[in-house]
Amino acid sequence: MENLNLGRHISGQFNTDLENVRNKVLQMGGLVEKQLADALNAIVKGDVELARQVVSTDRQVDALDVNIDEDVAQIIAKRQPAASDLRLMVSVTKIIVDLERIGDAAKKLARMIVKGDASQQQLLVRLEGMGRHVSQMLHDVLDAFARLDIETAVAVHREDAKVDLEHQGLFREMTTYMMEDPRSIPRVLEVISAVRSLERIGDRCQNIAEYIVYMVKGKIVRHISGEELEALVR
């Protein structure tokens, strides 16, 4: 298995094409990261205006999603990349699916602030910790993508187990509110759905981490155990 060797192509244009795609992915990732951070800030402050901004940023994310896929198809067709370059292209086209859906999840959170009432916002504030946690995972996995750093990618992958515990804790907490006051059920159910969205953001960061390992190592690691994954970076 050879390592990625970006920037070593005889064709300068090819290098530029690959760099451009990588930069666009990072740009898309940056937008999604900001969407998620803003959604969490909107929740904590009950800031409806900020929440509206998160919703409207989604168009830019969608446009980049399409644009990157078009670039990848063109590069494959024109440059006929092999080995690590090809893996980069295939990984990028999968990574942007997850990024786009993380953006959707942020939008969904933001919409709850736009539409929800004060008592629901009080409950949503309880999600801040878990939200910051998955934001950090997203930040780190984008960093791992930028630096082709599989140690960081595997660390993000490992981190998701903690997010799952936070999910379970919040789920249990929300259940008790419903049991104590059945009238709160519809409201709390929406909050539970937001908790699930955050949990799935963690899963998506895990997916991206797996694609990064594939890019760098040439090994598809989607269905291997955590231990096997750890062994790859030892």
The distance of closest approach from Cβ of residue 2 to a second copy in the complex, given in angstroms and rounded to an integer, is 13
> Does 209 engage in binding with a second copy (CB under 8 A)?
no
Kindly tell me the sign of the dihedral angle through the C-alpha atoms of 111, 116, 122, 124.
negative
Structure tokens at 138: 């997203």
> Does 87 engage in binding with a second copy (CB under 8 A)?
yes
State how far the Cα of 132 lies from the Cα of 204, in Å rounded to an integer: 15
- Candidate segments 33-41, 49-57, 160-168, 192-200, binder of a second copy by CB under 8 A: 192-200
Report which of 85, 70, 89, 117 is spatially closest to residue 3, judged by C-alpha positions.
85
- Candidate segments 47-55, 105-113, 122-130, 215-223, binder of a second copy by CB under 8 A: 215-223
> Does 147 engage in binding with a second copy (CB under 8 A)?
no
The distance of closest approach from Cβ of residue 45 to a second copy in the complex, given in angstroms and rounded to an integer, is 29
Report which of 116, 103, 88, 87 is spatially closest to residue 30, judged by C-alpha positions.
103
> Does 114 engage in binding with a second copy (CB under 8 A)?
no
State how far the Cα of 225 lies from the Cα of 220, in Å rounded to an integer: 12
- Candidate segments 57-65, 109-117, 132-140, 154-162, binder of a second copy by CB under 8 A: 57-65
> Does 223 engage in binding with a second copy (CB under 8 A)?
yes
The distance of closest approach from Cβ of residue 16 to a second copy in the complex, given in angstroms and rounded to an integer, is 20
Residues in contact with a second copy by CB under 8 A are 62-63, 65-66, 69-70, 72-73, 76-77, 80, 82-83, 86-87, 90, 93-94, 97, 100, 171, 175, 178-179, 182-183, 185-186, 189, 192-193, 196, 220, 222-223
